[in-house]
Structures are given as C-alpha cells and as structure tokens.
C-alpha cells in the first residue's frame, strides 16, 4: 500500500499515506459536502440497513450514513490509521445519530468482519492509495463482507478532471501525468474512471458509474481556499523538487493575496467517480476468522 513516493505528497497520518491527515481531509469534506451528499444519495442505502464505511478517515461520512439508515439501522467503520479511527469514534459519540455506530482500526485489505455482514459498503477516497493488485484484493474483501443482493459503492478521485484558473488549464493534469511516469500515488489518482471495470472484475453485477465534477468559483469559501490553497502549494513544491515543468510559482504561498484562487476569476475543479455494484448470489471465499472474541479492536493491518 505504501509506495516510495507517498511521503513526498505531504499531509500524512501515522500510515505514511498522503492527504489523509485531518488537517487536510476535514476542510476538503467541508468544501465539497454538497457533492459528497449527492454521491452518497445515489448509492441506494435504505433505512434499517447495516452499512460499512471502509476507510472512514476521520469519520466525516458517518453522520450522513447514519441519517440514511435511521434508528433501525447500524453503521460500522474501519480505518488503517488508529488516530483517524479514534477521531471518527469521537465524532459519532458527539453526534445525535439514532443509528448504532461502531468504529474499528483495520485494513480494507483484510476486513475484520464475517462474510455477508453488511447490506452495503461505502468506500470513499481510499482506493487511490492501492496499487492494482491491492485494489483487486480490497474489492474482493468489500464483496466478501456484503450479503448477496447488497451494494458495494466506491468513490474516488479522477485526477484527469482537475484544472485551476487563472493558470494554464492543464497545469494540474500535466503535473500528475509527469509524476505518474513511475508507479505510485499520481498514477492511482488518474485511475478513477476505471472503477466500473474493476468492480465487474471483482464479480459484482449491475455495475453503474457516474462522474461528478466539483467546481469552486471565486469567491471560494474559506474551507475551499484552505484545502485547495494548501494542496496546490504542496504540488508546487513537489513540482520544483522533481523538476516538473509548469508555472507553479503563484501557488507557493496559499495565504498570499496574489494567489490565483483569490483572484476575482479564481476557479478550481476536481473530478470524482462513484461506481456501485451488486453482490450476486453464489459461493463465497472462506469466512474471515476473527480473533476479536472479547470486544477488543483487532487492529489488523496489511
């Protein structure tokens, strides 16, 4: 899961994975909350269901999932970073959700749940950290823990739809393509629109996919300025370090008054792909043998 280039992107948690720290994740969710709600609405989660948030991060999606399953439903969540799992659990202890919520530390590559536990699984902003082999393994796990007829929903970034203005409209995509010359994080950010065929290869049926372009126009909200300003500054420093062409200098200071996103015509877009498939009836792999016999978190990692 952790390729050599990950730490160079910054904002890591204890996992070493970039852009997973709450400092960057929470402003991003706040800036894009309406789009994220729309993405979740399209999955088809129903009241009374038991839903897993696989790779929950700091838990921003958990209140939205809890709303959809209601008082008769249940929500489980798992994240690889122990501190993120703890923050997600704390978030839900403070939230007036009627649904029962449980958060664990664990990996999407080895989920600590029995076969067919869930009616639906939601996996957001997580597959971008997996290489192709790990992605196949994770999707097999998501399928395994979902009941026949249940739903597996995966949402992730499509870096090919990122653009910023006023600037070269291909500044971000050219940076990602240059960084994607070697296996690693950038290449995986450009893989978003392959999700539908990855779900089909995992044996899911009735796979559907759509792409949302999340656009932010000046004046950007404080949360959008915070996230995209810091993200672009990180890209700018990395481009300079790696000798990648492009006029990134105006983006180096996220708080500077001349920053392009503070311009009256400031604009930035981001693509997100949502793929949903159904678990068919039929034989499964051997069930997960959990050692969690006393209610303790198994804390399994890859």
For residue 157, report the phi and psi dihedrals to the nearest 5 degrees: -75, 145
Is residue 254 included in any domain, yes or no? yes
Q: What is the band of 254 on the pLDDT scale with cuts at 50, 70, 90? A: very high
Is residue 189 included in any domain, yes or no? yes
Contacts of 79 (CB under 8 A, 6+ apart): 55, 56, 57, 85, 88, 103, 105, 106
Q: What average pLDDT does the structure give for the chain?
A: 90
Instruction: Tell if the pTM clears 0.85, that is, is over it.
Output: yes
Residue 67 in tokens: 């709303």
pLDDT at 20: 85
Question: pLDDT of 226-237, one tens digit each?
Answer: 999 999 999 999
Q: Domain count of the chain?
A: 1
Question: pLDDT of 276-289, one tens digit each?
Answer: 999 999 765 433 33
Q: Mean pLDDT over residues 264-283, rounded?
A: 94
Where do runs of H (alpha helix) occur along 60-164?
Answer: 62-69, 82-93, 132-144
Cα–Cα distance measured from residue 2 to residue 40, given in angstroms and rounded to the nearest whole number: 28
Distance of CA 189 to the CA centre of its chain: 11
Is residue 26 included in any domain, yes or no? yes
Closest CA to 243 of 188, 177, 301, 175: 175
Question: pLDDT of 111-163, one tens digit each?
Answer: 999 999 999 999 999 999 999 999 999 999 999 999 999 999 999 999 999 99
Is residue 58 included in any domain, yes or no? yes
Contacts of 147 (CB under 8 A, 6+ apart): 116, 117, 118, 119, 279
Element (H, E) at 76: strand 74-79
Is residue 257 included in any domain, yes or no? yes
Task: Give the pairing type, strands 267-278 and 118-124.
Answer: unpaired
Is residue 166 included in any domain, yes or no? yes
- DSSP-assigned letters across all residues of 205-239: EEEEEEEEEEEEESSPPHHHHHHHHHHHHHHHHHH
Is residue 163 included in any domain, yes or no? yes
Is residue 236 included in any domain, yes or no? yes
Question: pLDDT of 80-104, one tens digit each?
Answer: 999 999 999 999 998 888 889 999 9
Task: Give the pairing type, strands 205-217 and 100-105.
Answer: unpaired
Distance of CA 103 to the CA centre of its chain: 17
With H, G, I as helix, E, B as strand and everything else as coil, classify residue 271.
Answer: strand
For residue 170, the enclosing domain spans 6-278
CATH code: domain of residue 180: 3.40.50.150
């Amino acid at each position: 899961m952790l390729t050599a280039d990950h730490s160079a992107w910054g904002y890591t948690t204890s996992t070493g994975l970039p852009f997973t720290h709450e400092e960057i994740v929470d402003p991003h969710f706040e800036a894009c909350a309406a789009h994220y709600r729309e993405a979740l609405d399209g999955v088809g989660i129903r009241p009374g269901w038991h839903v897993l948030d696989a790779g929950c991060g700091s838990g921003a999606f958990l209140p939205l999932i809890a709303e959809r399953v209601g008082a008769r439903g249940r929500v489980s969540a798992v994240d690889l970073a122990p501190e993120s799992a703890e923050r997600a659990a704390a978030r839900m202890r403070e939230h007036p959700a009627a649904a029962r919520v449980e958060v664990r530390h664990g990996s999407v590559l080895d989920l600590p749940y029995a076969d067919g536990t869930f009616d639906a699984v939601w996996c957001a902003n997580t597959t971008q950290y997996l290489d192709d082999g790990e992605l196949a393994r994770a999707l097999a796990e998501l399928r395994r823990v979902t009941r026949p007829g249940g739903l597996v929903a995966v949402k992730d970034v499509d870096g090919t739809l990122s653009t910023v203005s006023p600037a070269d409209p291909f500044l971000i995509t050219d940076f990602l393509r240059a960084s994607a010359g070697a296996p690693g994080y950038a290449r995986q950010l450009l893989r978003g629109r392959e999700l539908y065929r990855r779900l089909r290869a995992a044996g899911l049926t009735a796979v559907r996919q759509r792409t949302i372009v999340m656009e932010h126009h000046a004046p950007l909200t404080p949360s959008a300025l915070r996230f995209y300003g810091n993200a672009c500054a990180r890209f700018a420093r990395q481009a300079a370090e790696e000798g990648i062409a492009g006029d990134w200098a105006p983006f180096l200071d996220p708080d500077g008054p001349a920053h392009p996103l503070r311009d009256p015509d400031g604009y930035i877009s981001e693509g997100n792909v949502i793929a949903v498939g159904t678990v068919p009836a039929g034989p499964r792999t051997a069930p997960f043998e959990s050692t969690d016999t006393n209610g303790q978190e198994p804390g399994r990692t890859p």
